[in-house]
């Protein structure tokens, strides 16, 4: 890999704040999103690959002919949050201390570009795949999967492949994902409350307009600014709530002590009073992260991110949510469960172990990737260690050594998956 060229090309992608915004012509998820897709496809075209732009919903880079092998990535991102908390501009790729920093560098612009460079490496060396490799670039992975729905509705989806949007050695199971809005009674003197920027990010800031008690502000480490009570925390991926500090949890005891809210709200959302967190299987335990909070029609509205075990039935999850509070299901993604002994899983795991000189086994995660959109799919990298899984966090980074190592893994994996029909 020509790392300097890779870094320059990645900078061109990172500069786009490709969160979902208002739609425009051929930009269903916002203009920055659409421009980022065009940038990527133009680069792939300059490498000599056939490309397609599906009306701004998704894009595709094609290499070879035969039975499809899908490699599913995404170019949209979650909000950068408070830019003052970043050590560098989140939309300017910055290299420091052996790491590349920027929003989307790990999730998922960096991995998408690594795959493109892997395909270029093989093409330049004269490799001719006996399958059609389809690098699919979604533009709505973080906030709704409208890109996947478009591909399915137009009969453009692959049946088999992988998504480089998670961890190594290979992910055979992903928990189901539910986003639900719960409604709780509150006192009318709670005039406004607002916190959280995305359904799948731990809330790092809440602002509330309500009666003020300086002693309680100090007790719960809250601040008062411009007439509002401020609760601050630390964001993290919604599937890993333990890595963050939830600003909602921090402010709820204040509401309780001021008589604005019953303590059962906090107990149900954070202390497992309902028992919903008691479910688990080999994909892990159920997690619940309250990520967005607001007032709606005099009710406290809290949007929760639930990741439920892969073998658990959604209807059972729904019954448990109903026990907590009146609610509205905003979205649901079914779980992924691929046989650990399948050829796809075994091949990808063996490639990882061979390149990295390790002996690891397939694993399950709480995160959700495009892999679950495939009939036979898995998530595959790019993260090598749990502590380096910093998706959705402030100062998101990708280690330079891991970029290069992931490139080696993907090159070998693509060869083994496509050298035969």
DSSP string, 118-155: HHHHHHHTT---SSEEEEEEES-TTTT-HHHHHHHHTT
Domain ranges of the chain: 3-174+338-418, 176-333
Tokens of 178: 């539910």
Segment (H or E) for 255: helix 247-257
- The kind and range of the H/E element at 208 are strand 205-209
Beta bridge partners of 205: 232
Q: Which residues contact 238 (CB under 8 A, 6 or more apart)?
A: 198, 199, 200, 201, 202, 289, 291, 305, 307, 392
DSSP string, 284-296: EE-EEEEEEEEEE
| Bridge partner residues of 194 (DSSP) | 207, 294
Q: Going residue by residue through the chain (421 aa), what tens digit of pLDDT does each one get?
A: 999 999 999 999 999 999 999 999 999 999 999 999 999 999 999 999 999 999 999 999 999 999 999 999 999 999 999 999 999 999 999 999 999 999 999 999 999 999 999 999 999 999 999 999 999 999 999 998 999 999 999 999 999 999 999 999 999 999 999 999 999 999 999 999 999 999 999 999 999 999 999 999 999 999 999 999 999 999 999 999 999 999 999 999 999 999 999 999 999 999 998 888 999 988 889 999 999 999 999 999 999 999 999 999 999 999 999 999 999 999 999 999 999 999 999 999 999 999 999 999 999 988 889 999 999 999 999 999 877 789 999 999 999 999 999 999 999 999 999 999 8
Q: Would the CA dihedral through 227, 233, 238, 241 be positive or negative?
A: negative
Under DSSP, the state recorded for 406 is H
The two structure tokens encoding residue 235: 């964001």
Question: Which CATH superfamily hosts domain 3-174+338-418?
Answer: Zn peptidases (3.40.630.10)
What pLDDT is stored for residue 144 in this prediction? 86
C-alpha to C-alpha distance for 406 and 413, rounded to whole angstroms:
10
* DSSP structure string for 333-395: E--EE--TTSHHHHHHHHHHHHHHT-----EEESS--GGGGSSEEEE--EE-SGGG--TTSTT
pLDDT score for 369: 94
DSSP state of 400: H
Which residues have CB under 8 Å from 368's CB, separation 6+? 174, 175, 177, 239, 307, 333, 336
């Amino acid at each position: 890999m020509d790392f300097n060229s890779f870094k320059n090309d990645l900078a061109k992608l990172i500069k786009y704040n490709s969160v979902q915004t208002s739609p425009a012509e051929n930009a269903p998820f916002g203009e920055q999103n659409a421009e980022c897709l065009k940038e990527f496809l133009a680069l792939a075209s300059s490498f000599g690959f056939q490309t397609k732009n599906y009306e701004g919903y998704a894009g595709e880079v094609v290499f070879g002919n035969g039975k499809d092998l899908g490699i599913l990535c995404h170019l949209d991102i979650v909000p950068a949050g408070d830019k003052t908390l970043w050590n560098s501009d989140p939309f300017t790729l910055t290299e420091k201390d052996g790491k590349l920093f920027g929003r989307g560098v790990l999730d998922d612009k960096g991995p998408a570009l690594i795959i493109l460079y892997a395909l270029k490496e093989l093409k330049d060396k004269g490799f001719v795949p006996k399958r059609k490799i389809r690098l699919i670039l979604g533009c709505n992975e973080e906030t709704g999967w409208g890109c996947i729905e478009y591909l399915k509705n137009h009969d453009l989806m692959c049946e088999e492949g992988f998504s480089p949007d998670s961890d190594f050695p290979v992910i055979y199971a992903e928990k189901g994902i539910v986003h639900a809005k719960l409604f709780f009674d509150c006192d009318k003197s709670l005039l406004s409350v607002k916190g959280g920027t995305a359904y799948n990010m731990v809330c790092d800031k809440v602002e509330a307009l309500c009666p003020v008690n300086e002693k309680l502000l100090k007790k719960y480490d809250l601040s008062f600014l411009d007439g509002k009570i401020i609760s601050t925390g630390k964001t993290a991926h919604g599937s890993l709530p333990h890595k963050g500090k939830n600003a909602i949890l921090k402010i709820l005891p204040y509401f309780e002590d001021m008589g604005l809210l019953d303590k059962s709200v906090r107990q149900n959302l954070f202390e497992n009073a309902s028992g919903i967190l008691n479910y688990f299987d080999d994909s892990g335990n159920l997690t619940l992260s309250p990520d967005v909070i607001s007032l709606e029609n005099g009710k406290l509205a809290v949007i929760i991110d639930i990741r439920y075990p892969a073998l658990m039935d959604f209807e059972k999850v729904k019954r448990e949510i109903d026990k907590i509070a009146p609610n509205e299901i905003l979205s649901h993604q079914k779980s992924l469960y691929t046989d650990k002994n399948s050829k796809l899983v075994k091949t990808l795991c063996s490639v990882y172990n061979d390149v990295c000189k390790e002996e690891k086994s397939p694993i399950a995660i709480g995160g959700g990737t495009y892999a679950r959109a495939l009939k036979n799919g898995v998530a595959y990298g790019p993260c090598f260690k749990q502590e380096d899984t910093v998706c959705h966090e402030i100062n998101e980074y990708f280690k330079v050594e891991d970029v290069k190592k992931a490139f080696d893994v993907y090159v070998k994996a693509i060869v083994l998956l496509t050298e035969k029909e």
